[in-house]
Amino acid sequence: MSQQASKKQKADAGESSGRIAHKKVKDAEAVLLKVKALAVKLKQTQEVERTLTSLNLPYNCREVVDKNSEAVLDEIEAAMFEIAASILKGEGFSFDVPSRAKGNQVYVPELDRIVLRDSVSKRPFASTQTCRKAAITARILGLVHQLCTKRIHVTKRDLFYTDVKLFEDQGQSDAILDDLACMLGCTRSSLHVVASEKGVVVGRLSFREDGDLIDCQRMGVGGKAIPPNVDKVDSIQSDALFILLVEKDAAFMRLAEDRFYSTYPCIIVTAKGQPDVATRLFLKKLKTTLRIPVLALVDSDPYGLKILSVYMKGSMNMSYDSSNLTTPDIKWLGVRPSDLDRFNIPQQCRLPMTEEDIKTGKKLLEEDFVKANPLWVSELELMLKTREKAEIQALSSFGFQYLSQVYLPLKLQEGDWIEALCAAQQRPDVGEIGNAGERLGSRGHKALGA
């Protein structure tokens, strides 16, 4: 693109920025037209799930699967027999633990998620460097064996308190637990150890949890806690048109109290910040079962985008289970850096980015999955250029119900979301749905120059 053309597009964007704030919210039927079109398109698209084995990659990768109690017990007992045999030979014992180091993680464009390369490190008991970790590994193997034998589940905190002197810190027992899941080739939930309840859901959704019927429209402002054992969730029913994924608990409560889902049929989900495993599993299950679009509402800062990327591409810590935990096709609805001018967010509600924010933003621009999304790059570059960030709550400067009554309806009405692309795709395919940059004159989008 020539410099003259680029300058013209930026000038056009500057003239039209802020116009969306003066648009009128139409009736609910009109607001939902583009969302309905997106939902229909999604249901008509045949999903082809690609796997690591089908890609013939030049390197081996390690992934886990759900295993029942008997299968996990077999794996643990086989490992212990090997250890016993090694000790009887006078060779001591050692665990072969898959390496989950950052250098062993890789983003696979064809799958659009982070995976773990198959590299194993030794954890010998006879080494002064690893003897304590080896002892903790053996102890947790024994505890998981008990849980699978008794068919009961405990939280990670419960597990920590079984041997506080040995574990010292819950972070250490948590890390070993992930090592064991990876080593045994099963998901962490297969070990019968779950995290405490964190995420919540509300809206047009009903399901059965361990046989009990749950209606998420009758759960009040606080919503229904997402069960830590998502395997016990079945019989999912919904007439929602989309799932609204919300970063903050405060925004969730606002939308729940205003019964946003009654006017605009949706399911609202939040993990109250950094996404936990149960919320990620639950979101994946909803998306796979209902086949409706997921729209994300996060803060306009690098950490909001990092949280969104964890839902979509996976986390480094849990890369071995990314096939079960990721929901790749999530639309970035807001709050985006270009929204700050387009919705005339007051200057006093915009926060200056810290050096750490800027560093995080620049690191995100170097990620392969971000580079694959030119519209994401444009928004991030705009954020770094202005050095401004804003929370979802900044919209409350126009009124406490501005989020539910104006901002989100306008976003849905205009189809103003960013489609996610993976690096394997050639170019943005925004089309007529979600083509917000062209229609709304978004400064960030116009600067892109499709």
H/E segment holding residue 91: none
Whether 29 shows a pLDDT value over 80: the answer reads yes
Listed range (113-117, 273-277, 375-379) with the worst mean pLDDT: 113-117
Residues 154 and 147 sit within 8 Å (Cβ to Cβ): yes
Position 24 confidence tier, pLDDT thresholds 50, 70, 90: confident
pLDDT average, residue stretch 394-412: 93
Q: How many CB atoms lie within 10 A of CB 289?
A: 15
For 257-268, how does the pLDDT look when each residue is reduced to its tens digit (9 = 90+)? 999 999 999 999
For 415-441, how does the pLDDT look when each residue is reduced to its tens digit (9 = 90+)? 999 987 655 554 443 333 344 333 333
Whether 177 shows a pLDDT value over 90: the answer reads yes
Catalytically annotated residues: 161
Position 442 confidence tier, pLDDT thresholds 50, 70, 90: very low
- Neighbouring C-alpha atoms within 13 Å toward the C-beta of 105: 18
Position 19 confidence tier, pLDDT thresholds 50, 70, 90: low
Burial class (CB in 10 A: 0-12, 13-18, 19+), 56: exposed
- Residue 404: per-residue pLDDT: 93
Average pLDDT, the chain: 84
Residue the block writes with tokens 């460097």: 129
Measuring CA to CA, which residue among 167, 146, 147 is closest to residue 157?
A: 167
- Residue 158: per-residue pLDDT: 93
Whether 303 shows a pLDDT value over 60: the answer reads yes
